[in-house]
Amino acid sequence: MLAMSTYAFEDFPVGLVRELGPRTVNKEEVLQFASAFDPQPFHLDETAANASAFGGLVASGWHTCAMVMRMMCDDYLLDSTSQGSPGVDHIKWLLPVRPGDTLHVRMTVLEARPSNSRPSVGLVRSNWLVLNQHAQPVMSMEGWGMFGRRKT
Amino acid sequence: MLAMSTYAFEDFPVGLVRELGPRTVNKEEVLQFASAFDPQPFHLDETAANASAFGGLVASGWHTCAMVMRMMCDDYLLDSTSQGSPGVDHIKWLLPVRPGDTLHVRMTVLEARPSNSRPSVGLVRSNWLVLNQHAQPVMSMEGWGMFGRRKT
């Protein structure tokens, strides 16, 4: 498993920057996500959204998180020694994300260290900055990933 | 709008506790969410999940967040003066969430204050603790909500 994955703990040194995506926000998916998980009018109903403070339909912040997760998966996680994540901090929803927007993510590694309790695992703390097609930051967050190490 | 909603800023005083849910985790939904947003093998493929450190299929942490969001919506948000959220902190995925688990959420209000820049709005900071059917904490997070005020 370790030998077969392209990315292991050692491939995420402090200071590394990766660009993930792009992903265009699909209106049908915005409505589906809202219908399932976040049926507030400004996520679900175009007429109500137009009349709201948002001035139009916006994606649920959790949908944006989920889209970022998918960009991580496609860029590196699915071909890595990832063992999941204990959590995420400082999610900031900075600007509305609208159908038709094209998002990409700038990942920066902030901290990387072997696990004290599990020497075969390393912990990587990263910042993910989500930008739209106008280079405006629409979301940011920080989180820890656990990755198997190549050398123990 | 304000007059028609049951819940406004004034209904979330510091120390308030609300119990949200329950919601039973549906296996088809776990697989659908994973397929769309988080196709790591332990979220998507039962055989691979059984062989993983999780010992079986587990919901994506983002799916758990989305289920919590839906419980908030159904309990109070959809009948409130909510104006969205600027962000969430300290998401901790503490234990695996598995198909068939029944989740509920204990919400505790930590802080509540009028907005400095927008006197018609109040800010509420809450902790959401997610428990399974064995009363085990499986997730926790803190976040801010913005609510219209009854009296300005």
Rounded to two decimals, the pTM is: 0.95
Burial code (b: 16+ CB inside 10 Å, e: under 16) for B90-103 equals ebbbeebbbbebeb
Does residue B37 sit at the A interface (CB-CB below 8 Å)? yes
Residue A70: list chain B partners with CB under 8 A. 36-39
The pair of three-digit structure tokens given for residue B148, joined into one six-digit string: 């219209």
CB contact at 8 A, A41 and B73: no
Distance from CA of B42 to the nearest CA of A (A): 9
Distances in Å between the alpha carbon of A19 and those of A25, A110, B145?
Answer: 17, 15, 31
Give tens-digit pLDDT for A111-138: 999 999 999 999 999 999 999 999 999 9
ipTM above 0.90, yes or no: yes
Across the range A37-58, mean pLDDT stands at 94
DSSP structure string for B87-142? EEEEEEE-S---TT-EEEEEEEEEEEEE-SS-TTEEEEEEEEEEE-TTS-EEEEEE
Q: How confident is the model at residue A53 (pLDDT cuts 50, 70, 90)?
A: confident
pLDDT tens profile B81-110: 999 999 999 999 999 999 999 999 999 999
Whether A83 has its CB under 8 Å from any CB of chain B: the answer is yes
Q: How far apart are CA B36 and CA A117, in angstroms?
A: 33
Nearest-Cα distance to chain B for A16, in Å, is 23
Which residue among A29, A38, A53 sits closest to B69, beta carbon to beta carbon? A38
Residue A1 has pLDDT above 50, yes or no: no
Asked if A37 is an interface residue toward chain B (Cβ–Cβ < 8 A), one would say: yes
The DSSP bridge partners found for residue B80 are B7
Do A40 and B77 count as a contact with CB atoms less than 8 A apart?
yes
Q: Give the sign of the dihedral formed by CA A105, CA A111, CA A114, CA A116.
A: negative
Closest approach of A63 to chain B, Cα-based (Å): 8
How many angstroms separate the CA of residue A72 from the nearest CA in chain B?
9
Per the prediction, chain A carries an average pLDDT of 95
Average pLDDT rounded to a whole number, residues B127-150? 97
Chain A contact for B88 (CB, 8 A cutoff): yes
Task: Kindly report the length of chain A.
Answer: 152
Residue that the structure tokens 């300005």 belong to: B152
Specify whether the CB–CB gap between A112 and A15 falls below 8 A.
Answer: no
Q: Strand, helix or coil at B48?
A: helix
Measuring CA to CA, how many Å separate B39 from each of A41, B76, B95? 29, 32, 19
Per-residue confidence band for B3, with pLDDT thresholds at 50, 70 and 90? low
How many Å apart are CA A140 and CA A65, to the nearest integer? 9
The residue assigned the tokens 């093998």 is B41
